[in-house]
Amino acid sequence: MTPHPNPLPQTNLTMTPDTPSSAAVTGLAGWRARLFNPSTRQKLLAFTSLLVLLVFFSIANDNFLQVDNLVSILQSTAVNGVLAIACTFVIITAGIDLSVGTMMTFCAVMAGVALTYLGLPIYFGIVAAIFFGALCGWTSGILIAKLKIPPFIATLGMMMLLKGLSLVISGTKPIYFNDTPSFSMISQDSLIGDLLPALPIPNAVLILFLVAIAAGILLNKTVFGRYTFALGSNEEALRLSGVKVDFWKITVYTISGAICGIAGLLIASRLNSAQPALGQGYELDAIAAVVIGGTSLSGGTGTILGTIIGAFIMSVLINGLRIMSVAQEWQTVVTGVIIILAVYMDILRRRRQ
């Protein structure tokens, strides 16, 4: 046998990174590369849209930039923003949670049970709301991870179940927090305003930002966050790597539920009551905010910052249209169009990849 001739030159090839953005990029070129990276582009797009909306409404109507109106925008973003953060975790795992709205109401009702029915101190109300949120989320997680019920169906069931439970427990009547005067302060007082009278930012907004920062750390700096992304990116690969996929998935839904509990506190505090019939429809606003913020419904990507921007786009839009005396019906139509556009952007982005 003659030695096998090899037509290929033997060179010691080295590998170079595929794109400039992958390496440690610095300086102007680095910034440019980062600017045109698809995920950054989506975030910039959302942020630019928000700025455009703000500029447009402030030119269109003088009342828009009034402090009262801006505070009202902030206040109305708080609840949807916190719910959207809850949804962001689930959507990054390529799941969906339709129950966040009624779960929020259920948590508000449970706070009412603790404070008004049982007359416990305010801290018990806060713990009750967050605990029952976590419990509901854990239940959804078990249904999805262990019983293998598709997230859409499992959380659709939870949505109706929790709506029913809220009505049953409250006897279909609102539960007022008149015996706990400090409860309304959770949402409506302004700690920042006390320090800086020029900035009467309600506590609800402060809580939104605290939740956002905590969620951002959780998502980006912890093992839990890493597995949240990994679940949405390639669950099978994660399983083959020996990670307890079911456990982490249940944890994602549990944490998401606890955050819904915080949203429940915010809304109950703002209305000074737990309104058992409220809640349905909030999940769609929350999911819309997440998607507008650039989190892909197919999982694996997403940011808390994007979600917050998405939530603000929604509330600025509604507020601006209202201020311009656009009829309620038409506000809903516009919101619908925005959601469709945002999802279409998501599809375009994925197709490009």
When the beta carbons of 75 and 228 are compared against other proteins, the nearer one is 228
CB 341 within 8 Å of CB 328? no
* Shortest distance, position 19 Cβ to other proteins, whole Å: 5
Q: Applying CB under 8 A, which part among 54-62, 226-234, 283-291, 304-312 lies near other proteins?
A: 226-234
HSE-up of residue 9 (Cα within 13 Å, Cβ side): 3
CA angle 69, 75, 80 (to 5 degrees): 125
* Shortest distance, position 245 Cβ to other proteins, whole Å: 10
Q: Which of 15, 28, 147, 195 binds other proteins (CB under 8 A)?
A: 15
Is residue 5 part of the contact set for other proteins (CB under 8 A)?
Answer: yes
When the beta carbons of 239 and 322 are compared against other proteins, the nearer one is 239
- H/E/C letters for each residue in 291-323? HHCCCCCCCCCCCHHHHHHHHHHHHHHHHHHHH
Is residue 2 part of the contact set for other proteins (CB under 8 A)?
Answer: yes
Is residue 1 part of the contact set for other proteins (CB under 8 A)?
Answer: yes
Is residue 27 part of the contact set for other proteins (CB under 8 A)?
Answer: no
Tokens of 164: 């029913």
Q: Which of 17, 181, 281, 336 binds other proteins (CB under 8 A)?
A: 17
Place of tokens 């009278």: 197
When the beta carbons of 234 and 331 are compared against other proteins, the nearer one is 234
From 111, 131, 128, 117, select the one nearest 184 (Cα to Cα).
111
CB 175 within 8 Å of CB 109? yes
From 244, 255, 174, select the one nearest 219 (Cα to Cα).
255
When the beta carbons of 118 and 217 are compared against other proteins, the nearer one is 217
* Shortest distance, position 46 Cβ to other proteins, whole Å: 19
Q: Which residues contact 228 (CB under 8 A, 6 or more apart)?
A: 89, 92, 93, 219, 248, 252
Is residue 353 part of the contact set for other proteins (CB under 8 A)?
Answer: yes
Scanning residues 62 to 101, which ones bind other proteins (CB under 8 A)? none
Give contact residues for other proteins (rule: CB under 8 A).
1-8, 10-19, 21-24, 221-226, 229-230, 232-234, 236-238, 240-243, 300-301, 353
